[in-house]
Structure 1
């Protein structure tokens, strides 16, 4: 009987750092036994500059061939180096509509995105990342350009404001099992009465860090992530409607300000029994 593998979808603009994004998707695929699919979409206005229908068709066909060749050139060395199959597809149209349609059609278990330049993010926001997080109910991995999880990279996992018991995907236990060091748990508290601030303690084979919430909290967490060599930070999306907006704001701050790859979990998490 054929074993059904998990599906990882990489959404890529084929710009800088695409190689590290795909390698991190492959690293994830190796750990959870998944297949990788790369999808690239362009706006027609990025391709067609002429009003002539014949010229436009010719330009579209040329761009389609060039994009497919570029994807093939990117993935062929990765396929050879890591002995893994990678499929790919290209589309031309409204970027968000095409992504939404492709997600609905392929039903990926995890979507992988590359991290955009933080200076650009602070000015304009990463609308595609926001869109994917709202469109896809399952996990989303956002890959740091210089701190990814390629197959040859040792995995060091951190956890933000959560407990491992809430991860109900059947592959998350595989990820935790692959970690080379004990889990690092980073917790933000709202209590001025809490005496344990940025203090390390060991519980259940995990190392806990507690931070009082203030303007420097995320910066301090980023420093501790680097100090502890964390390269994949789990963030649990809230399934509680009342807490969702606060949770989304916190996730955006983390995306914009920490220099590690992020694994943002499903927004339908349930407490494991």
Structure 2
């Protein structure tokens, strides 16, 4: 078995968007050298409707078989297109607790979430995205609405340079190796200051001097960022969490985990660096 560098954990809700979520996760794994595992959770309160113990056990058995069949069918769809090994697991119980315990068990490098048209991935109304942003400090990929993260022919990548640091240097380098030229770095022009390229970006440029690098600068706004991604046909938008709690980038990520019409226009997958 080929050794993989990154372990991707894909949280699946088995909705219609699950295929796109898994496909983007598989493509990312192929780009950076990763393994993929699916995990699905269902709340017990939505399975067991009857207090009778025998009836409850029957409901759990039925749900077990249904969930297993759906997960295997989803994996089979991917296997028709990609030769990649995909593990899966699922559980019933308190959704947030089950996710937390599973993350502690498998210790993923990247967690992958799906995005719906009106709201980002959540289980049964629970805000799992915000929960993970608060509790998990590794890398998170929020899959786009389409299969626009490519694994071959090079990906168009946009990096928000202001949040690049040594902690996420390794995955940034691995992504850059498969990036289509030019690699795009963007930064925010802050009022009364002149932004300079940070040290990490300088080192990336030196490492990949064979690739064309383009830098963009725009005003500090959500709309400007969304327009940038759309205009430049970015296939993967990479940014980190702000160093300050009230930074505009944290506000941007926070809006993604809620319902926001402007953020809804962001079709590309979003990779959020860990701390």
On whether the aligned pair clears a TM of 0.5, the verdict is yes
Instruction: Give 1:211's aligned residue.
Output: 218
RMSD: 2.7
Instruction: Give 1:102's aligned residue.
Output: 102
SS at match of 2:90: strand
The reply to whether residue 237 of structure 1 matches residue 241 of structure 2 is yes
* Cα shift readout 1:41-85 (whole Å, capped 9, x = no counterpart): 000121121221111110111011101100100011212321000
| More off after superposition, 221-230 vs 33-42 | 221-230
**TM-score w.r.t. length of structure 1:** 0.82
Which aligned runs of 4 or more in structure 1 are off by greater than 4 angstroms?
none
* Cα shift readout 1:191-218 (whole Å, capped 9, x = no counterpart): 1677xxxxxxxx95432222223xxx32
Instruction: Give 2:269's aligned residue.
Output: 261
| More off after superposition, 83-92 vs 112-121 | 112-121
Number of residue pairs the alignment of both structures matches: 251
Structure 1 CA distance for aligned equivalents of residues 141 and 13 of structure 2? 16
* Cα shift readout 1:212-255 (whole Å, capped 9, x = no counterpart): 23xxx3223212211111021111124x4xx1343432322356
**TM-score w.r.t. length of structure 2:** 0.81
* Cα shift readout 1:69-128 (whole Å, capped 9, x = no counterpart): 00100011212321000000010000000000000000001000001333689xxx9710
Structure 2 CA distance for aligned equivalents of residues 254 and 188 of structure 1? 19
* Cα shift readout 1:157-181 (whole Å, capped 9, x = no counterpart): 1122526554535333121111112
| 1:146-225 correspondence runs (5 A) | 146=146, 148-151=148-151, 154-162=154-162, 166=166, 168=168, 170-191=170-191, 205-213=212-220, 217-225=221-229
Distance 1:24 1:119, change over 3 A: closer
- The answer to whether the 8 A contact 1:218-1:253 is kept is no
Task: Give ranges in structure 2 of 5+ residues lacking alignment.
Answer: 195-203, 206-211
